[in-house]
Amino acid sequence: MGKTKTTRYDVAEHLRNPEEMAAYLEACLEEANGDASFIAKALGDIARAKGMSQVARDAGLSRESLYKALSGERSPDFDTILKVVSALGIRLHAEAANP
């Protein structure tokens, strides 16, 4: 029996259109349980799928600062999140939580 070869899974390779990107972010928001760095990492996945350089330009940030902000190792400022969300073409919305 031969060895099984595995490769690292990268969700960014599977986010092919805006609908998939929005659905992924929605699922991450539901699972985050208040963890802002988890959401930042999810936005980083979407940004990589769309093209980090283009997202950085559209958000008015340097590519390096965008990578740092969306690494998931820290919680970026909310204004950075808003810039990135806008650059990704995604809208955030609010709804009442179920009691």
| pLDDT reading at 42 higher than 90 | yes
Q: Where are the domains of the chain?
A: 18-88
Residues 48-88 have pLDDT tens digits of 999 999 999 999 999 999 999 999 888 889 999 999 999 99
The string over 42-55, giving b where at least 16 C-beta atoms fall within 10 Å of a residue's C-beta and e elsewhere, is bbbbbbbbbebeeb
Q: What percent of the chain has pLDDT over 90?
A: 75
Query: So what's the pLDDT on residue 74?
Result: 85
Mean of the per-residue pLDDT values of the chain = 92
Query: So what's the pLDDT on residue 99?
Result: 66
> Could you tell me the pTM of the whole model?
0.87
